[in-house]
Amino acid sequence: MFKFNFDVNEQDSSDSAESPFKKVKTDKDDKTDLNSEEKIDWYKAEEVTPNKELLNCMDVYELNAKELIVGKIELRHLVAGFLLEDIKTNNDTNSEDIKRSEETHSDLIAGVYEGGAKIWECTDDLLLYLANTYDAANWKNKQVLDMGCGSGLLGIYALKNEATVDFQDYNKDVLEKITIPNVLLNCEEGLEDDVKMDFLQSKTKFYSGDWAHFTELTENLKQYDMILTSETIYNIENQGKLLDTLSKRLKPDGNVLIAAKSHYFGVGGGLEQFVEVVKAGKIFHSMEVWQADKNLKRGIIELKFQ
């Protein structure tokens, strides 16, 4: 059974006061307390600038990287075990959120850590769907957002197909310790350090923080042709913020692909429930484009403006 081991608390109501997307809870047997009066102080959004000092660690990253073949694209990413051990061994004070997750043996801590150090299985589903559905021409010169990116594999796949990609994750330390190193691991071999940094600056941006604050921070910036997101709908309390962000950051003719499980035991969210929230908002049309029936059911839905 798949279960997140954390408590979901009520979000600050100001974040979604004007949202057309209302909570829909369909599982009457779920015991999660969604009416807690405790408010979460969600992290403010900020742009995270890649640090050139990361390049000094590339030899170590290369030795602790894993390869993943998706269609015709080879993706490389850090092995999570190495990363977590490195953070603990070096007593890295800039990775407090990841350390707290490890110390409490919790995959998710609402408002503190949102699971970015792991590669969740629906990410693999969405990668394979992208490889089987879109040819290379689809990505060229497109503006893509990898939302709730974690390891960044979805965005890196788009990047290696010549898209321009922004990466967003709740935790700044996930971006600095995982996402950005993974992007660097996927740069062309033999590039000089300055060329790698120029590539990051011209083809990527990185944002941390809460979705509502991210929307405000990027309000006057570009919108996206495609938004990719995986395993981000588990918390019913945050679904309104997610959909508000999608509606404000997506181009009128753009599309969103969301990969998730049919149900997240212990927190109440899931694809079927989420689709009801989408329908109630009357902003997006949703269509199921892929489903797996093995073990716990998983699926992918596509959103387009009505």
Full residue range of the structural domain in which residue 163 is found: 45-305
* 55 belongs to a structural domain: yes
Give 120-170 pLDDT, tens digit per residue. Answer: 789 999 999 999 999 999 999 999 999 999 999 999 999 999 999 999 999
**pLDDT at residue 39 in the model:** 79
* 147 belongs to a structural domain: yes
Percent of the chain with pLDDT over 70: 75
Going by pLDDT thresholds of 50, 70 and 90, the confidence category of residue 40 is confident
pTM: 0.84
**pLDDT at residue 14 in the model:** 39
* 261 belongs to a structural domain: yes
Burial class of residue 83, CB neighbours in 10 A (0-12, 13-18, 19+):
buried
Domain count, the chain: 1
Closest CA to 216 of 240, 249, 239, 243: 249
pLDDT at 227 over 50: yes
* 32 belongs to a structural domain: no
Give 6-15 pLDDT, tens digit per residue. Answer: 333 434 433 4
> Which CATH number fits the domain that encloses residue 269?
3.40.50.150
**pLDDT at residue 79 in the model:** 83
Tell me, what DSSP letter sits at residue 175? I
Phi first, then psi, for residue 207 (nearest 5°) are -130, 135
* 28 belongs to a structural domain: no
Phi first, then psi, for residue 242 (nearest 5°) are -60, -50
* 290 belongs to a structural domain: yes
